[in-house]
């Protein structure tokens, strides 16, 4: 009887330890990360998650990949360099359990592709950039996994870089930022200052009344006021904006009114819609909008 008892205890012990002795790569099977694992294989990064180095991996669920347009997803898979960058952006050096993220404070973690990930823990859960964690603290022998509901977008440079990117058609607003002498404020990729920029599209700037621009002239102060009204201090993704009735700006005492249509589209100050949302920058987020927003402080000047 004693031998049987010892045998059962040892069997349970070794079974438990066999289960625990699973590395990050193998643990992907236990969180149903079929697509992410296949991409890791395609990128030739299985060894990274098999090794002895400790990592925290943000694993997009299979469902999260359905949010990516098929053409974009296929383009990523067809570009080995981009694919490796995307995978490595989801891998963070060290072990970061969810309880280590301070409640109500932003934390910045460096991914293994050299770009920063913003982490925020709130009453609604743990958030990584625009993604929400659906399962946290899945342990492995060489690290930990947090499952997320959205594939993270790799930052495309600073806010200034994004405004100058022809793909986003916001270069006219960038010229305004430079005329206002504010471009250096939004060009630091390593600073702790993060911004959400509502950038009028080139078409929006072209439709802006010429008489209004003439009234503002080359007065740097007036131009700064206009630009600052399009910037929020901190990061707000579109889902967070939709839950608000207003957004503060870097122009003191001036907020942007937020409403949503029946279809769920966000409207700013009753006129501007978001044409392109959640463009990730090293130092914030850019949303391209359909109209220029005019702060009340400039009303006496422009009429």
Show Cβ contacts of residue 288 under 8 Å, excluding neighbours closer than 6 positions. 168, 169, 170, 199, 200, 201, 274, 275, 276, 277, 279
pLDDT score for 4: 52
pLDDT score for 5: 47
pLDDT of residue 136 exceeding 90, the answer is yes
**Is 86:45 a contact under the CB 8 Å cutoff?**
no
**Is 121:109 a contact under the CB 8 Å cutoff?**
no
User: In which residue are the tokens 């044409």 written?
Assistant: 275
pLDDT of residue 244 exceeding 70, the answer is yes
pLDDT score for 104: 79
Runs of H (alpha helix) within 90-208? 159-164, 171-179, 202-207
pLDDT (tens digit, 9 = 90+) per residue, 10-66? 444 444 444 456 999 999 999 999 999 999 999 999 999 999 999 999 999 999 999
pLDDT of residue 7 exceeding 70, the answer is no
Mean pLDDT value of segment 86-94 = 97
| Burial status of residue 299 (CB atoms within 10 A of its CB: 0-12, 13-18, 19 or more) | exposed
pLDDT score for 64: 96
Model's pTM, two decimal places? 0.86
DSSP 137-159: EEEETTEEEEEESSPPPPP-S-H
- For the chain, the average pLDDT equals 91
pLDDT of residue 8 exceeding 80, the answer is no
List of long-range contacts for 216-219, beta carbons under 8 Å, 24+ apart: 216/298, 216/301, 216/302, 218/179
pLDDT of residue 140 exceeding 90, the answer is yes
pLDDT above 70 covers a percentage of the chain that reads 92
List of long-range contacts for 118-121, beta carbons under 8 Å, 24+ apart: 118/194, 118/235
Cα separations in angstroms, 63 against 17, 34, 45, 135 = 31, 10, 22, 14
Q: What domains can be seen in the chain, in order of their start residue?
A: 2-148 (2.30.180.10), 159-302 (2.30.180.10)
């Amino acid at each position: 009887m004693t031998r049987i008892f010892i045998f059962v205890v040892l069997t349970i012990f070794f079974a438990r330890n066999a289960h625990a002795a699973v590395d990050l790569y193998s643990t992907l099977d236990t969180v149903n990360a079929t697509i992410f694992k296949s991409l890791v294989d395609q990128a030739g990064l299985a060894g990274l998650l098999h090794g002895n180095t400790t990592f925290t991996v943000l694993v997009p669920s299979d469902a999260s990949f359905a949010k990516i347009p098929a053409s974009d997803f296929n383009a990523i898979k067809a570009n080995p360099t981009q694919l490796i960058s995307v995978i490595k952006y989801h891998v963070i050096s060290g072990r970061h359990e969810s309880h280590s993220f301070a409640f109500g404070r932003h934390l910045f973690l460096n991914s293994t592709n050299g770009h920063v990930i913003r982490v925020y823990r709130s009453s609604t859960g743990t958030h990584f950039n625009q993604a929400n964690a659906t399962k946290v603290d899945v342990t492995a022998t060489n690290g930990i996994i947090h499952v997320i509901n959205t594939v993270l977008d790799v930052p495309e440079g600073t806010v200034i870089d994004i405004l100058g990117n022809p793909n986003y058609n916001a270069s006219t607003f960038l010229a305004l930022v430079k005329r206002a002498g504010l471009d250096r404020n939004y060009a630091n990729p390593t600073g702790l200052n993060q911004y959400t920029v509502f950038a009028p599209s080139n078409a929006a700037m072209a439709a802006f009344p010429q008489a209004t621009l003439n009234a503002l002239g080359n007065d740097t102060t007036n131009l700064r006021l206009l630009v600052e009204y399009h910037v929020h201090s901190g990061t707000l993704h579109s889902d967070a904006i939709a839950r608000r009735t207003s957004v503060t700006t870097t122009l003191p005492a001036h907020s942007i009114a937020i409403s949503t249509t029946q279809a769920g589209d966000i409207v700013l100050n009753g006129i501007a819609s978001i044409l392109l949302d959640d463009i990730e920058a090293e130092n914030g987020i850019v949303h391209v909008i359909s109209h220029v927003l005019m702060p009340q402080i400039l009303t006496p000047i422009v009429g």
